[in-house]
Structure 1
């Protein structure tokens, strides 16, 4: 039997780090040794015959606990969801959602502070998207995918081709920030655990993220995402 019971596969910059931090305090939950394991997006693995012991070595003995990890690139990265389904068809998946415009801006700020990104946000979300067509795998990029990772409806539709709806829990980053007790209660119910102990809101990797975002860029991205957000609502009932 596979050791890992649940994964938080997306979305990047949508509260996954805060959620991982909260879950570390929930009795009955055993998390990976590091937040982002990056196994199912590893193109160096022989996916014709993967060695899952390498993956499961990232988890300490669980002693009957529910075992999980959070690698938010999985939902975006090609073939990662298919690899997860092959590993554990019964995997439970927790999806964190955030306004895609805010997510793109936060993603760009992160890559700018880290160093890979040197171009302005306005250029990156327009002309800069062409960079993805020179990447490998084609059309995907770990750092520069500011716009593409925000097509939630498209990615969720692919998710539902591989996993039934009752194995997926959708949550909003804003709700985790303002009402963590309700969100953690939903997660524990989803994972078959008793209600968690009370907790307080906590800030993890949060800054003045919206300062400097130009209204013209907001309007542009809202237009880019309009159709996809309608698709997301049709699939999940969630409006962003």
Structure 2
């Protein structure tokens, strides 16, 4: 029996991690925290020379034999120090990364911030001149809220995961596969986690885009495709996922 969290949904934001968290909570061999996102390993206010792991463990009920603790904080793969901190905490941790087309991810992220009232820029401005907000303040608030473009560069995130953890502790998934075939995806997760099959689940779609009647302008799609295409192609090849349907990888 161990208090250590054994499985982390580490990314990426707006790729179905809320739905996945809800599915994982239905398995009797998995113990969820009291909140979906603990934001422990991306907390720069903590003393990382001597991390207060008891704060993380306080999110969980008492440890039980045969039950694995998990958590889902999708900034973890993007936040540069987070995965290394997870490895230091639990070198045997299993890491799940859900990847989504980066153009669709950026639009969904921006829509969420607009809906929250934290973003006043248009999408076009947010993905161009708005990127200047991330300069000069590494790991500051803009890295959390306005990182629409930066979070979509997946190659560095995939490489970091592969450098820190062995292949057997990493599971890369594509977000549309979770949405279209949750049972099949959960079967892969059960095998990966070494637990029994999931009970029958009702398909979920948590936190759908709050601005469903809007869409990015074609010029913005073209701009992001130019930024992302090479990185995305290399990232999905390294992760071994099928992303042929991604708009980022579509011709012209």
User: TM-score under structure 1 normalisation?
Assistant: 0.95
Asked if 1 retains the 8 angstrom alpha-carbon contact of 2:9 and 2:74, the reply is yes
Q: Shift in Å at residue 140 of structure 1?
A: 6.3
**Residue 97, structure 1, aligned to residue 99, structure 2:** yes
Match of 2:61 in 1: 60
- CA deviations on 1:15-48 (whole Å, 9 max, x unpaired) are 0000001111112111111000000000111001
Secondary structure in 2 matching 1:161: helix
Q: Are 2:21 and 1:20 equivalent residues in the alignment? A: yes
Residue 80 (1) aligns with residue 85 (2): no
Give the aligned partner of residue 184 of structure 1: 186
- Counterpart-to-counterpart distance in 2, 1:77 and 1:9: 10
SS class of match (1:154):
helix
Question: Which of 171, 174, 177 is residue 173 of structure 2 equivalent to?
Answer: 171
Partners of 1:5 and 1:140 lie apart in 2 by: 30
Per the TM alignment, residue 113 of structure 1 is displaced from its structure 2 partner at its CA by 1.0
1:198 aligned counterpart, secondary structure: coil
Unaligned runs of 5+ in 1: none
- CA distance in structure 2 between the aligned counterparts of 1:200 and 1:51, rounded to whole angstroms: 37
Deviates more, 1:12-21 or 1:210-219: 210-219
The offset of 1:139, in angstroms, is 10
Judge conservation of contact 1:2–1:88 (CA < 8 Å) in 2.
Answer: no
Q: Deviations over 1:157-216 (max 9, x none)?
A: 111111111111111211111111001111111000111122221221114547321111
Relative distance call for 1:140 and 1:74 in structure 2 (3 A) is farther
Query: Would the alpha carbon gap of residues 236 and 210 (structure 1) be closer, same or farther in structure 2, given more than 3 Å must change?
Result: farther
Report the Cα distance in structure 1 between the residues aligned to 2:194 and 2:133, rounded to whole angstroms: 43
More deviation, 46-55/229-238: 229-238
Q: Secondary structure at the match of 2:237?
A: helix
What secondary structure is seen at the aligned counterpart in 2 of 1:108? helix
Number of matched residues? 240
Matched, 1:50 2:51: yes
Q: Which moved more, 1:67-76 or 1:230-239?
A: 230-239
Following superposition, the deviation at residue 2 of structure 1 comes to 5.0
**2:200 corresponds to which residue?**
198
